Structures are given as C-alpha cells and as structure tokens.
C-alpha cells in the first residue's frame, strides 16, 4: 500500500512530498502508523549535507505512533501498542555498548544504509534517514527502533520524547549533572533548548538563563523555566556574569551547534564549571582556545550525544515527569503542521523562528 512521505532526493535538493511503497515487516521488523513527527534541526542538517545520509531518503527521526504489524521474532511490542521511535538503537556488542555508553554505539546508524521503501512513481529505492523515516504516514523499522510508550502520555506529543526531550533532559541530568541550586545557561531556544530549560527547572537550578539570537523567544523560554533572558551578542558572557555576581554560571549547555555560541557558552561558565555542547555544527565551525585559559579557568568542556541517554531506561522517567505535570511537552511545540508544511518549517529553523514544528497525521 502506498503512503505519503517527505523524500530528500539529493543532498541540498528540496524535499519532495510524494507517495512511497513500503514492504510488509520482515523478521525482526515492525510496521508503525505515525501519529506525529517532530521537525528537528538534525533533519535540516541531513538535508543540507552537514550530516551525511544515503540518498534518496525519507527523512524524519523524532516520532511516535501505533504498531500495525510485527515480523517474526518480535516479542516486545504487538499490533495496537503505542510506541516511540528510537533513531539510535544500540547493538549491545560494540566497545561503547560494553562500557555502558549506549549513546555512542558504533553500529547505531547501520540501518540507515539499507533500502527502506521505493518511490511509487518510478520504483527508485529509498533509504531510511536516521533509521526510522518518520516523515511518513507509516514506516517499517527494525524492532530495536520502537520503544513501548508508557501510559498517561498523549501519543502525538510523545513524538518529542524521541529526540528533543531525551537530548535536553540527558544534557542536564547525565552530561552536565546539574545539581539543585546551581545556575544554568542554555544557548539556543529551539526544541532541544526548551527541553533543556525544563530539565534544568526539574533539576532544581536556582537561576536559569536562556540565550537566543531573537528577542521573540523570551516568552517561550520563560514558560519553560528561564529566570532570565539574554539576546545573543558579543557581550553575552559579560551579561551572564553580571547576572551571576560576576562569576558566570555553574553550567552552560549549547544547543545551536555554532562556533560563536560554543565559545560564548564556554566564556559564560564560571571557573571550574561545566560546558556541555549538544548542538550539531558543521566541520567548518572551528572553536579555538589558548593553553593558558584552559589551565586558568579549570572548566570542563564536553560533547553530548543523544543526551548521553539510554532511551529504554530514560523514557519511563520522562513519562513519569509528564504525568506529574513537571514536564510540559506541549510547551515545546510552536506549530502543528502536515507533511506539506515541512519545507516551510525548515525555512523557519534557518531563520531562528519558532521552536518545534510537529507534523501530525
């Protein structure tokens, strides 16, 4: 049966909203009807070549839906189950997995190189962007790419748990390990940034400073938990130090993936503090440090992949926060669109407008 999907025909080319033909699930596979899919900046990075993906491909990696059918050997989900898509399933066998660092699994994206579907018009083979091809009415994925959704979480909003919320929550709780009473600065108020702000509030941070290039996002940031808002400029580190008694924040989390904001996040962190980089930047985004400042400031600079999360363990924790009302998924969504609205959502991301567009089916 043909379904509609958003296909990237070539790197740098416009997305095509077209019909594709999906196979029935084979051994170890699951067919899912999507309820919603978030439009993440990583999808834009795939489309413009910042991150590499085999093409043509069906993009989309943040999604949730209902199981339609399962292939032989699949036992952890059944038709009718509500699930969240996991775009980076761990293999459990590589060196990173053996160390318990499943977010660094060497084989997590192996599935992206396979053939996922064919284009209905001409039979062209299509790859699954980041394994799960969520920009489609339905998808067929490997069984480890689906996680049962705990009760009490609206299915459409649950799509955000598959990337933005896991990443933001994990950046605060696993990577930076924010402690109650600490101060936090979050650079970039997109979907991940808003999730990071909420996670900092959940962690009990006393002062939470949101930083973005546009003043229009201040209300969004404050609703998510920001106590202060700074419009990004060359003076941002100075402004943040002024807000923290001249010291700088205990923790900075950079969510934009730009050299200038990574450097600003570093300079906004107090002596001995922690700077965590979540944003995915291009290889031409160079950040420089001199040897003396590294010694003098004693700061820790760390990368953060997928929030340093184990989705199977963290998803139930996030669901509990949703049920308790401490995590507001709807506050991350600034636009609800159809598949046809994805190209416009890409344009808005490039212009730093809004936060998270959610494709609803």
The full DSSP string for 41-58 is HHHHHHHHTSS---SSEE
Non-local (6+) Cβ contacts of 81 within 8 A are: 66, 67, 148, 149
Q: Which two tokens mark 38?
A: 């978030």
Q: For residues 286 and 145, give the distance between their C-alpha atoms in angstroms, rounded to a whole number.
A: 33
Report the distance separating Cα 341 and Cα 329, nearest Å. Answer: 21
Structure confidence at residue 46 (pLDDT) = 87
- Predicted pLDDT of residue 50: 85
Q: Do the strands 207-212 and 228-231 form a parallel or antiparallel pair, or are they unpaired?
A: parallel
Give kind and range of the element (H or E) at residue 316: helix 311-324
Residues 95, 25: Cα–Cα separation, whole Å: 30
Closest to 328 in 3D by CA, of 150, 157, 168: 157
- Closest C-alpha to 274, from 293, 254, 290: 254
CA atoms lying within 13 Å on the CB side of residue 248:
21
pLDDT of residue 212: 97
Q: Spell 227-248 as b/e; 16+ CB within 10 A means b.
A: bbbbebeeebbebbbebbeeeb
Helices vs strands, H then E, count in the chain: 11, 18
The total of other beta-carbon atoms located within 10 Å of residue 343's CB is 14
φ/ψ of 59, rounded to 5, equals -85, -175
Sequential pLDDT tens for the chain (361 residues)? 799 999 999 998 999 999 999 999 999 999 999 999 999 988 988 888 888 889 999 999 999 999 999 999 999 999 999 999 999 999 999 999 999 999 999 999 999 999 999 999 999 999 999 999 999 999 999 999 999 999 999 999 999 999 999 999 999 999 999 999 999 999 999 999 999 999 999 999 999 999 999 999 999 999 999 999 999 999 999 999 999 999 999 999 999 999 999 999 999 999 999 999 999 988 889 999 999 999 999 999 999 999 999 999 999 999 999 999 999 999 999 999 999 999 999 998 888 887 899 999 9
pTM exceeds 0.85 for this model: yes
Provide the 3-class DSSP secondary structure of residue 294: helix
The confidence score (pLDDT) of residue 148 equals 98
pLDDT for position 219: 96
- The residues facing 359 across adjacent strands are 37, 337
Distance CA 47, CA 32 (A): 24
Rounded to whole angstroms, the Cα distance separating 20 from 4 reads: 6
Query: Quick one: pLDDT at residue 51?
Result: 84
Ramachandran angles phi, psi of 125, nearest 5°: -75, 140
The pLDDT of residue 41? 87
Residue 1: per-residue pLDDT: 74
Q: Which domains does the chain have, with CATH numbers?
A: 2-162+328-360 (3.90.180.10), 165-305 (3.40.50.720)
**Residue 350: its pLDDT value, please?**
83
Q: Partners of 64 in the beta sheet? A: 36, 84
Strand boundaries in the chain, DSSP class E: 2-8, 16-21, 29-39, 57-58, 62-70, 82-85, 117-119, 125-128, 138-142, 146-148, 183-187, 207-212, 228-231, 249-254, 269-277, 300-303, 333-337, 356-360
Q: Find the helix packing angle between 236-243 and 259-267, rounded to 10°.
A: 30
Q: What is the pLDDT of residue 292?
A: 97
How many CB atoms sit inside 10 A of residue 79's CB? 11
> What is the DSSP secondary structure assignment for residue 60, as one 8-state letter?
-
> How would DSSP label each residue in 164-232?
HHHHHHHIIIIIS---TT-EEEEE--SHHHHHHHHHHHHTT-SEEEEEES-GGGHHHHHHHT-SEEEE-
The residue with tokens 């440090």 is 289
């Amino acid at each position: 049966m043909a379904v509609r999907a958003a296909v990237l025909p070539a790197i740098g080319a416009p997305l095509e909203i077209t019909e594709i033909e999906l196979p029935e699930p084979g051994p170890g596979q699951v067919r899912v009807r999507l309820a919603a899919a978030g439009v993440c900046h990583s999808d834009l990075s795939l489309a413009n070549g910042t991150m590499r993906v085999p093409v043509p491909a069906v993009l989309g990696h943040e999604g949730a839906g209902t199981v339609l059918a399962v292939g032989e050997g699949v036992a952890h989900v059944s038709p009718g189950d509500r699930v969240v898509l996991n775009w980076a399933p761990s293999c459990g066998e590589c060196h990173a997995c053996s160390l318990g660092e499943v977010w660094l699994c060497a084989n997590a994206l192996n599935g992206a190189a396979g053939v996922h579907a064919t284009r209905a018009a001409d039979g062209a083979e299509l790859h699954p962007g980041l394994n799960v091809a969520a920009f489609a009415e339905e998808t067929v994925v490997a069984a480890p790419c689906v996680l049962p959704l705990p009760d009490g979480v609206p299915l459409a909003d649950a799509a955000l748990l598959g990337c933005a919320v896991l990443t933001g929550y994990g950046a605060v709780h696993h990577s930076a390990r924010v402690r109650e009473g600490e101060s936090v600065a979050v650079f970039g108020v997109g979907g991940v940034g808003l999730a990071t702000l909420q996670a900092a509030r959940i962690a009990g941070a006393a002062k939470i400073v949101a930083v973005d290039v546009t003043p229009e996002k201040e209300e969004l940031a404050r609703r998510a938990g920001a106590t202060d808002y700074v419009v990004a400029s060359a003076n941002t580190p100075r402004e943040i130090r002024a807000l923290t008694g001249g010291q700088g924040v205990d923790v900075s989390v950079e969510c934009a993936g730009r050299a200038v904001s990574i450097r600003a996040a570093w300079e906004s962190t107090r002596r001995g503090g922690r700077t965590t980089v979540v944003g995915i930047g291009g290889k031409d985004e160079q950040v420089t440090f001199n040897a003396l400042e590294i010694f003098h400031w004693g700061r820790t600079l760390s990368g953060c992949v997928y929030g340093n999360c184990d989705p199977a363990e963290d998803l139930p924790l996030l669901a509990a926060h949703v049920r308790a009302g401490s995590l507001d998924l709807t506050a991350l969504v600034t636009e609800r669109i159809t598949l046809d609205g994805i190209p416009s959502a890409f344009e808005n991301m490039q212009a730093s407008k809004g936060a998270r567009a959610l494709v609803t089916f």
